[in-house]
Amino acid sequence: MKALVFDNFGGPEVLSIREIEEPKHSKSEVIVRMKAIGLNFADVYRRKGNYHLVGNPPFILGYEGAGVIEYIGEDVHCVKVGDRVGFADVPHANAELVSVSADKLLPLPDGISFETAASVLLQGLTAQYLTSDSYSVKEGETVLVHAAAGGVGQLLTQIIKMKGGQVICLTSSNDKATVAKQAGANHVFLYESEWIKSIKDVTNGQGVDLVYESVGKTLLDSFEATKIRGTVVFFGMAGGDPEKIDPRMLMDTSKALIGGDLWNVLTSHDERQKRAAELFEWIMSKKILIKEPTLFSLEDGADAHRLLESRKSTGKILLIP
């Protein structure tokens, strides 16, 4: 089978398409023929060597995708050959065939295409738990969303609006501000502006109830933009490590800092199924809208990585075997 692989850490140029052995059959796993594969910044970090990789070269990136089951292990009874499935946390997805354990399979409803599933599972399940588990957004609350033109940012904005909240978005350019407005933002401010002051102005000097912080280096600024007894949910550091937080500040202002990580939520097959079903229902009922992804062939994976790293894309990037 063909796979997108690399032997040494580096830039996109280390990626190449290669014929490798098909995954071995296992009693407890199925083999999925991939139809669409999601590209994420975690893939970039792994390619650069910033994230730990298990095993020896050639390395295969990718953790998210969708396809059709071609083989079922004898101990697997919940699916059949020909079923359409997706997954959000299975390694080696940048290949024509992927071995998937049964507990990580997510059946796709008829109304969810392979491209939609590969576009939304990782980011959508992240936005779902952030707005329900890390903090349950309530009607009437005002929420600040960082990096709002990104995949998670757009979904957070739509889900908060769906729950009856008001959304203030931060982006890095006017073009990305337009994307955030299309997602439903009530206000959009640029990082280069005096955005904390602007947030205080539109919240009558109080600040927001809640911040979804994914930049990292802006963590202290997020607290400054949060009202007394407000909450900051920290779930990423795309812009660099955050400064240390003084617990005395939290006590003096009655503010809360909550951490969030998807892998602490997707802890069982039932959890994956329940959360994916809710996400798919939102999409099929058009409560949230998914932008058309940008498609690259698996062979052109290096170009897909270059586009993602340029930060010029605002929708999902998919690899198509």
Mean pLDDT by 10 residues, the chain (321 residues): 96 96 94 97 90 86 97 93 96 97 95 97 96 96 96 96 98 94 97 97 97 95 98 90 92 96 91 96 96 95 94 88 96
Identify whether residues 209 and 163 lie together within a single domain.
Answer: yes
Q: Are residues 77 and 168 in the same domain?
A: no
Number of domains in the chain: 2
My answer on whether 249 and 294 are in the same domain is no
**Residue 178: which CATH number?**
3.40.50.720
Asked, for residue 134, whether it belongs to a domain, the answer is no
- Residue 128 falls inside a structural domain: no
151 and 245 fall within a common domain: yes
Beta strands in 248-292 (DSSP E): 256-259
Q: Same structural domain for residues 8 and 77?
A: yes
DSSP string for 90-101: -S--SBSEEEEE
Is residue 130 a part of any domain in this protein?
no
Q: Are residues 17 and 114 in the same domain?
A: yes
Residue 126, in any domain of the structure: no
The pLDDT value given to residue 16: 97
Domain with 247, as residue range(s), is: 139-259
Q: Of 241, 259, 277, which marks where a domain is finished? A: 259
CA distance 206 to 242: 24
Q: How far apart are CA 121 and CA 210, in angstroms?
A: 24
The token pair at 4 is 């997108």
> 203: how many CB neighbours lie within 10 A of its CB?
19
Domain shared by 255 and 270, yes or no: no
- Are residues 145 and 175 both part of a single domain? yes
pLDDT, position 238 = 81
Rounded-to-integer distance, Cα 120 and Cα 38, Å: 8
Count Cα atoms within 13 angstroms, Cβ side, for 161: 23
pTM equals 0.92
Do 38 and 105 fall within a single domain?
Answer: yes
114 lies in some domain? yes
